[in-house]
Amino acid sequence: MPSESRRFGRLLLTGADGNLGRELRPRLRRHCQTLRLSHRQEFGPAEPGEEIVLAHLENKAAMAELLEGVDAVVHMGGVSTEQPWEPILASNIVGAYNLYEAARRNRVRRIVFASSNHVTGFYRQREVIRPTDPVRPDGLYGLSKAFGENLAQLYFDRFGIETVSLRIGSSYAEPKDRRMLATWLSFDDLERLVVAALTAPVVGHTVMYGVSDNATCWWDNTPARHIGYRPQHDSEVFRAAVEARQPHLDRDDPAVQYQGGAFVRTGPFEEDGR
């Protein structure tokens, strides 16, 4: 639809060959004249309306170049699972800093930042929280995403660069386990969310959860209603199948107690934990 594609000239999608990047790639192409795709390693040729620029997030000069001529960024790049400190430091801390510095120098005005529900993973599954509650990361990954959100806040307060930080739940074709009945974000809802975050007229730095309209939910997005995200999917249709697959839960397992699930008890700490 021509009127929609006029929304953006050049849109940058980082992490274009990651799980969510691959879903968003064809969907975002509809919303811009040129979709610039970036990833760490090569991932095949550009389609019409696309251009590909490889870059490592920890490479400041490469990042500055990557953002040249860009109108807005959908930042799905970086580490997206619990990993050792070094790669997280490189991609999600140094890399996020490089991204925002590049945005500042290139006068990019809007970033959609893939944050994570693991920023608040140490809240309980029996609590309903808001984006403004204090963060409680459940590991180094969540910690690095909290850093990214604070960086976004700084670059808005200081330089006027706007960000929507999406604390994405679990974005898969369908919910895989009991926890995802609460955290599931369908791919179509992910698209709705990213497009709303890109096109809302003013967002400042808005933090919100990326989740479908699941009957069970731990997150209250009321403070972000100005984004105009209206999810259409509900994990409930998968409940019977999911409960059949995972009939028993060990209620004393921290992965069942906390919103972060298994993230709260795995990671690079274990070798010599207490």
**Residues ≥6 apart with Cβ < 8 Å to 208:** 131, 164, 165, 166, 167, 221, 223, 224, 227, 229
**Length of the chain, please?**
274
Among 20, 182, 185, 194, binds a copy of itself (CB under 8 A): 182
**Which position among 97, 100, 123, 141 bears the catalytic label?**
141
Among 18, 97, 165, 189, binds a copy of itself (CB under 8 A): 97
Q: Which of the ranges 16-24, 34-42, 70-78, 132-140 carries the binding residues for a copy of itself, by CB under 8 A? A: 132-140
Per the DSSP assignment, residues forming a β-bridge with 8 are: 32
Q: Which member of 41, 44, 48, 244 binds a copy of itself (CB under 8 A)?
A: 244
Helix (H, G, I), strand (E, B) or coil at 56: coil
C-beta closer to a copy of itself: residue 187 or 263: 263
Tokens 């400042």, residue located: 204
3-state secondary structure (DSSP) of residue 6? coil
Please tell me whether residue 61 binds a copy of itself under the rule CB under 8 A.
no
Q: Which residue type, as a one-letter code, is found at position 16?
A: A
Positions 67 through 86 that interact with a copy of itself (CB under 8 A)? 85
Query: Is 22 or 60 the residue whose CB approaches a copy of itself more closely?
Result: 60
Active site residue 229: no
Q: How far is the CB of 231 from a copy of itself (least distance, A)?
A: 10
Phi and psi torsions of 112, nearest 5°: -100, 115
Cα-based distances in Å from 103 to 65, 80, 122, 200, 239: 10, 22, 32, 19, 42
> 8-47: which residues touch a copy of itself (CB under 8 A)?
none
Of the candidate spans 13-21, 41-49, 76-84, 137-145, the one that interacts with a copy of itself by CB under 8 A turns out to be 137-145
The number of beta carbons lying within 10 Å of the beta carbon of residue 127 is: 12
In the complex, minimum distance from the CB of residue 138 to a copy of itself, in angstroms, rounded to a whole number: 7
Residue 16: CB minimum distance to a copy of itself, A: 26
Sign of CA dihedral 203, 137, 186, 214: negative
Instruction: Provide, rounded to whole angstroms, the least separation between the CB of residue 36 and a copy of itself.
Output: 21
Judge contact between 35 and 49, C-beta under 8 A.
Answer: yes
The structure tokens listed for 56 are 């490592």
Question: Which residues make Cβ contacts (< 8 Å) with residue 33, sequence separation at least 6?
Answer: 5, 6, 8, 9, 10, 49
Sites for a copy of itself among residues 206-225 (CB under 8 A): 206, 214-218, 220, 222-225
Say if residues 212 and 184 touch (Cβ distance below 8 Å): yes
Considering only 15-23, 31-39, 45-53, 153-161, which stretch makes contact with a copy of itself by CB under 8 A?
A: 153-161
Candidates 41, 44, 126, 173; binder of a copy of itself (CB under 8 A) is 126
| Nearest to a copy of itself of 14, 183 (CB atom) | 183
Among 7, 10, 30, 40, binds a copy of itself (CB under 8 A): 7
Report the SS3 class of residue 257. Answer: helix
Q: How far is the CB of 57 from a copy of itself (least distance, A)?
A: 14
Any contact of residue 270 with a copy of itself (CB under 8 A)? no
Point out the residues that are catalytic.
141
